[in-house]
């Protein structure tokens, strides 16, 4: 433990480390290092120095000297030149006036806390989740190229010229520990792959005329990718006798427990390795593992500033009808706080695909998810046929460019046009309804190619890649601030506990305060309980209405979905796939999605959507959200203690505990809200499961009709029970949320009261009020 004898000592200890997502120290009461009385007096910096520092009377240490290299810190706040020098009073004052970076604030707090805790460097990983940005779009539109450009690493991710390229969901984040490129690959278990293989071979053996050609093609591709050319011509039994088969089996068994991890310092070597797991290539067979992969995580060095708190997820354009990956696709969307829709600029307006993909998942993004914004990104802006453009845009023909500069004028003109048209289209789309303001939807026009290739004559800013990088940087910065704010709050709580413990508080007064706070807790919980009861009854009413409407219309809407009067033969295959896939069919490019479960859940969703988004809004305040109730929950009456009262620190400590709890609970609220919303569809799917299975097994002449009849009759028979179960499930989960929140508040705040009481008996004789003030000043610097 360091003896805080002043600034110079601290300087020698100071390590300009980075703040990491994980760097929120946990300060437990047990961590507090008791001091004996003889040493306690020296626990702050020397008094004279302190008074010289601020003219303060209290024991307040100076803010730490600032490392010069922190000027490149992740939050990019400007640093005054004098902040790097030290020694005189004048210079120290300028330290206070200049804004500190979050790194500096963090380090200051860490240094302060070193004096009082054994593990001020201990890291709490669980506190705040990283933000997920989903990058979605049809195959070949430039998602992977865009990601590589944003990270400034050309060819990092495989990109393809022919057909689908990225085959699996690829998660990209920052490597915050060293300068290596790391990949963690999650493979199917041996059992999962055995089942998949069995399904693939059953698709191959289907020789009936209603065979699903898309499924058939996917089965051939997958089998050949893993086992080599013509493996699809063998039977499953023959394949099992193949040496390659045994190799793959053992590969999956050995990787069952741990994910397959790989680390390289050389980017091209790394890219080549990763490609074999995520690239879908038609040019060669065997030796490609993408069919065996569930998901891939890639960690990139030197991008802390962009991705310290953010995960980018490349969501491949084509579905492969694998249920596990399909579920992952949907659950990834549910996790996204922002989605980037990617479309080549020449198709952005006319092509329905980019909109089609998301049209089917507004629920996963809106009420059932946490999406705060959508960026529509038009890619390949460098790719223009000037003559064609001048003609299509009906520009005067003398504007056909003859040189590069004229071409650039056309490119920029098309960019502006595209932005305008896409925004207009968005205003009319279904997606619009999940947002409350227009600025939650932005359009970018980018060229990943021109970003790396200056010969294409676009300035870096005209490629708009820097604009997207800035957006990431800003988000990262604000998340960093939140994290550091939590850290400072936590530290403050610890010091307040110490401070309240070493003041001579009258025992009787303390007992009275405890009784008062316990009483307040009871009353506040009571109020919160009433709030939950009222939203329960609101939702119950909406759901009951939804159940009635669902019962009335479900047979008709089922018929409309599974028995449309068109293209009977083609539809036979679609229906077969729908039954095999638990009620949901999605075409390879996800443009066409038929989801019977979602169709059946529609009325229940529609009836609760308005209330649900008031109770669980994604961004705005509604006056009736759970989050707002938690934010205002407090057992401290605002003016219950006067500032000079010895009880003040005790109350302040409770307040810091309340803030901590609010942060913890907000994550839980979002997670549980998603479960509540999705429970409607899941209940319906479970209720229909045996019917899907039965319908999938129907074969022979007239099987389409028999499948349709079976589905329609079942829906009619079980509708009452099914929709009521779905309703009850929602209410039960809402009640679980209530219990979870009430329980957490009660237990944690009781514990906080107990902790501060027991602290009073500890022998820590040290005035830490100066440190507390310092933490408050640091905290002020973090306010927006």
User: Binding residues for ligand GTP, per CB under 6 A?
Assistant: 137, 139-145, 159-161, 164-166, 316-317, 379-380, 382-383, 447-449
Q: What angle do CA 588, 592, 598 make, to 5 degrees?
A: 115
Judged by CB under 5 A, the chain residues 248 through 277 that form the site for Mg ion are: none
Q: What is the DSSP letter of 775?
A: H
Q: For residue 741, what are the CA distances in angstroms to 328, 365, 539, 662? A: 28, 24, 18, 10
Q: Is the CB of 186 or the CB of 382 nearer to ligand GTP?
A: 382
Q: Is the CB of 165 or the CB of 752 nearer to ligand GTP?
A: 165
Closest approach, Cβ 315 to ligand GTP, in A, equals 9
- Give the Cα separation of 515 and 753 in Å (integer): 10
# residues near Mg ion by CB under 5 A: 4
Closest approach, Cβ 702 to Mg ion, in A, equals 42
Pinpoint the alpha helices (H) of 616-646. 626-632
Partner from ligand GTP, Mg ion, none contacting 485, C-beta within 5 to 8 A by type: none
Partner from ligand GTP, Mg ion, none contacting 164, C-beta within 5 to 8 A by type: ligand GTP
Partner from Mg ion, ligand GTP, none contacting 576, C-beta within 5 to 8 A by type: none
Q: Is the CB of 29 or the CB of 137 nearer to ligand GTP?
A: 137
Partner from ligand GTP, Mg ion, none contacting 382, C-beta within 5 to 8 A by type: ligand GTP
Partner from Mg ion, ligand GTP, none contacting 6, C-beta within 5 to 8 A by type: none
Closest approach, Cβ 354 to ligand GTP, in A, equals 11
End-to-end CA distance of the chain: 34
Q: Is the CB of 290 or the CB of 653 nearer to ligand GTP?
A: 290
Partner from ligand GTP, Mg ion, none contacting 654, C-beta within 5 to 8 A by type: none
DSSP 521-578: HHHHHHHHHHHHHHHHHHHHHHHHHHHHHHHHHHHHHHHHHHS-SS-HHHHHHHHHHH
Closest approach, Cβ 316 to ligand GTP, in A, equals 5
- 154-193 footprint of Mg ion as x/- string (CB under 5 A): -----------xx---------------------------
- Give the Cα separation of 262 and 274 in Å (integer): 9
Q: Is 740 exposed, middle or buried (0-12, 13-18, 19+ CB in 10 A)?
A: middle
Closest approach, Cβ 18 to Mg ion, in A, equals 31
Closest approach, Cβ 184 to Mg ion, in A, equals 19
Closest approach, Cβ 161 to ligand GTP, in A, equals 4
Partner from ligand GTP, Mg ion, none contacting 160, C-beta within 5 to 8 A by type: ligand GTP
Report the 10 Å Cβ neighbour count for 449.
19
The torsion angles phi and psi of 51, rounded to 5 degrees, stand at -65, -35
- Give the Cα separation of 461 and 324 in Å (integer): 40
- Give the Cα separation of 223 and 638 in Å (integer): 67
Q: Is the CB of 120 or the CB of 136 nearer to ligand GTP?
A: 136
Closest approach, Cβ 389 to ligand GTP, in A, equals 15
Structure tokens at 376: 């529509």
Structure tokens at 715: 């829906």
Closest approach, Cβ 33 to ligand GTP, in A, equals 54
Could you tell me which residues come within 8 angstroms of residue 680 by beta carbon, excluding any fewer than 6 positions away?
Answer: 601, 604, 605, 726, 729, 730
Cβ-closest position to Mg ion: 166
Closest approach, Cβ 159 to ligand GTP, in A, equals 3
Is residue 774 a contact point for Mg ion (CB under 5 A)? no
Q: What's the per-residue H, E or C state across 160-210?
A: CCCCCCECCCEEEEECCCCCCEEEEEEECCHHHHHHHHHHHHHHHCCCCCC
Closest approach, Cβ 141 to ligand GTP, in A, equals 4
Q: Is the CB of 166 or the CB of 175 nearer to ligand GTP?
A: 166
Q: Is the CB of 188 or the CB of 451 nearer to ligand GTP?
A: 451
Structure tokens at 537: 């009854």
Q: Is the CB of 165 or the CB of 298 nearer to Mg ion?
A: 165
667 CA to centre of own chain? 11
- Give the Cα separation of 554 and 717 in Å (integer): 11
Which of 599, 602, 607 lies closest to 539, judged by CA? 607
Q: What's the per-residue H, E or C state across 284-336?
A: CCCCCCHHHEEEEEEEECCCHHHHCCEEEEEECCCCCCCHHHHHHHHHHHHHE
Q: Is the CB of 354 or the CB of 367 nearer to ligand GTP?
A: 354
- 552-581 footprint of Mg ion as x/- string (CB under 5 A): ------------------------------
Closest approach, Cβ 355 to ligand GTP, in A, equals 16
Partner from Mg ion, ligand GTP, none contacting 681, C-beta within 5 to 8 A by type: none
Structure tokens at 565: 């009067």
Q: Is the CB of 143 or the CB of 674 nearer to Mg ion?
A: 143
Q: Is the CB of 44 or the CB of 317 nearer to ligand GTP?
A: 317
Q: Is the CB of 319 or the CB of 368 nearer to ligand GTP?
A: 319
Structure tokens at 229: 């050319």
Q: For residue 263, what are the CA distances in angstroms to 168, 169, 592? A: 20, 19, 39
584-586/593-595 β-pairing: antiparallel
Closest approach, Cβ 774 to Mg ion, in A, equals 49
Q: Is the CB of 135 or the CB of 187 nearer to Mg ion?
A: 135
Q: What's the per-residue H, E or C state across 407-444?
A: HHHHHHHHHHHHHHHHHHHHHHCHHHHHCCCHHHEEEE
Judged by CB under 5 A, the chain residues 84 through 143 that form the site for Mg ion are: 143
Partner from ligand GTP, Mg ion, none contacting 320, C-beta within 5 to 8 A by type: none
Find tokens 């610097």 and name the residue: 781
Closest approach, Cβ 623 to ligand GTP, in A, equals 42
Q: Is the CB of 404 or the CB of 430 nearer to ligand GTP?
A: 404
Contact residue for Mg ion among 144, 499, 663, 714 (CB under 5 A)? 144
Binding site for Mg ion (CB under 5 A): 143-144, 165-166
């Amino acid at each position: 433990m360091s003896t805080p004898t002043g600034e110079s000592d601290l300087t020698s200890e100071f390590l300009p480390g980075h703040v990491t997502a994980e760097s929120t120290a946990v300060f437990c009461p047990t961590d507090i290092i008791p001091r004996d009385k003889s040493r306690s007096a020296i626990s702050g910096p020397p008094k004279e120095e302190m008074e010289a520092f601020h003219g303060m009377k209290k024991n307040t240490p100076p803010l730490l000297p600032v490392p010069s290299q922190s000027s490149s810190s992740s939050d990019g706040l400007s640093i005054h030149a004098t902040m790097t020098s030290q020694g005189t009073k004048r210079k120290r004052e300028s330290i206070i006036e200049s804004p500190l970076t979050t790194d500096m604030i963090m380090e200051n707090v860490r240094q302060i806390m070193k004096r009082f805790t054994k593990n001020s460097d201990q890291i709490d990983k669980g506190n705040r989740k990283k933000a997920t940005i989903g990058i979605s779009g049809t195959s070949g539109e430039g998602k992977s190229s865009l990601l590589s450009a944003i990270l400034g690493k050309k060819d990092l991710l495989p990109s393809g010229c022919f057909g689908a390229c990225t085959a699996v969901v690829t998660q990209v984040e920052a490597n915050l520990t060293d300068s290596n490129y790391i990949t963690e690959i999650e493979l199917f278990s041996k059992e999962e792959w055995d089942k998949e293989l069995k399904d693939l071979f059953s698709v191959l053996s289907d020789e009936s005329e209603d065979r699903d050609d898309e499924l058939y093609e996917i089965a051939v591709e997958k089998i050949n990718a893993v086992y080599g050319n013509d493996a699809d011509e063998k039977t499953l039994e023959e394949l099992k006798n193949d040496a390659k088969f045994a190799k793959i089996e053992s590969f999956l068994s050995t990787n069952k427990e741990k994910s397959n991890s790989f680390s390289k310092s050389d980017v091209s070597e790394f890219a080549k390795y990763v490609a074999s797991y995520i690239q879908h290539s038609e040019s060669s067979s065997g030796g490609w593992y993408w069919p065996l992969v569930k998901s891939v995580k890639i960690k990139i060095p030197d991008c802390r500033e962009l991705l310290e708190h953010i995960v980018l997820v490349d969501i491949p354009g084509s579905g492969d009808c694998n249920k596990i990956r399909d579920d992952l696709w949907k659950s990834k969307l549910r996790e996204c706080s922002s989605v980037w829709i990617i479309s080549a600029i020449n198709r952005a307006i006319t092509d329905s695909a980019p909109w089609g993909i998301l049209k089917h998942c507004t629920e996963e993004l809106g009420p059932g998810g946490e999406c705060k914004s959508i960026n529509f990104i038009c890619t390949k802006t460098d790719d223009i046929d000037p003559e064609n453009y001048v003609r299509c845009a009906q520009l005067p023909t003398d504007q056909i460019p003859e040189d590069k500069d004229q071409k650039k004028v056309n490119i920029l003109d098309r960019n502006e046009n595209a932005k305008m048209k896409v925004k207009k289209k968005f205003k009319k789309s279904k997606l619009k309804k999940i947002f409350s303001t227009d600025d939650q939807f932005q359009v970018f026009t980018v060229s990943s190619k021109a970003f790396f290739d200056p010969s294409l004559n676009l300035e870096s800013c005209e490629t708009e890649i820097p604009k997207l990088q800035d957006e990431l940087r800003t988000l990262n910065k604000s998340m960093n601030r939140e994290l550091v704010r939590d850290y400072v709050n936590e530290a403050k709580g610890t010091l307040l506990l110490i401070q309240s413990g070493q003041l001579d508080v009258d025992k009787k007064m303390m007992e009275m305060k405890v009784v008062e706070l316990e009483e307040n807790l009871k009353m506040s919980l009571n109020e919160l309980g009433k709030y939950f009861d009222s939203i329960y009854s609101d939702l119950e009413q909406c759901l009951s209405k939804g159940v009635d409407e669902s019962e009335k219309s479900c047979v008709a809407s089922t018929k409309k979905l599974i028995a449309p009067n068109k293209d009977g033969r083609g539809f036979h295959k679609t229906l077969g796939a729908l039954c095999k896939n638990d009620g949901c069919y999605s075409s390879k490019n996800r443009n066409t999605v038929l989801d019977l479960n979602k169709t059946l859940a529609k009325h229940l969703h529609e009836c609760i959507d308005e209330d649900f988004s008031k109770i669980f809004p994604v961004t705005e305040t509604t006056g009736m959200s759970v989050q707002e109730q938690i934010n205002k929950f407090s057992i401290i009456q605002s003016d219950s203690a006067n500032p000079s009262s010895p009880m003040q620190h005790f109350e302040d400590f409770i307040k810091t505990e309340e803030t901590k709890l609010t942060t913890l609970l907000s994550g839980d609220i979002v997670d549980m809200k998603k479960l509540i919303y999705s429970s409607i569809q899941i209940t319906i799917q479970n209720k229909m499961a045996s019917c899907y299975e039965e319908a999938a097994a129907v074969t022979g002449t007239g099987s389409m009709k028999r499948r349709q009849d079976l589905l329609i009759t079942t829906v009619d028979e079980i509708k009452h029970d099914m929709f009521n179960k779905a309703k009850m499930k929602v209410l039960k989960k809402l009640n679980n949320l209530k219990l979870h929140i009430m329980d957490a508040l009660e237990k944690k705040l009781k514990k906080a009261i107990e902790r501060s009481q027991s602290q009073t008996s500890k022998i820590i004789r040290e005035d830490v009020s100066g440190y507390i003030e310092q933490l408050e000043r640091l905290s002020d610097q973090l306010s927006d």
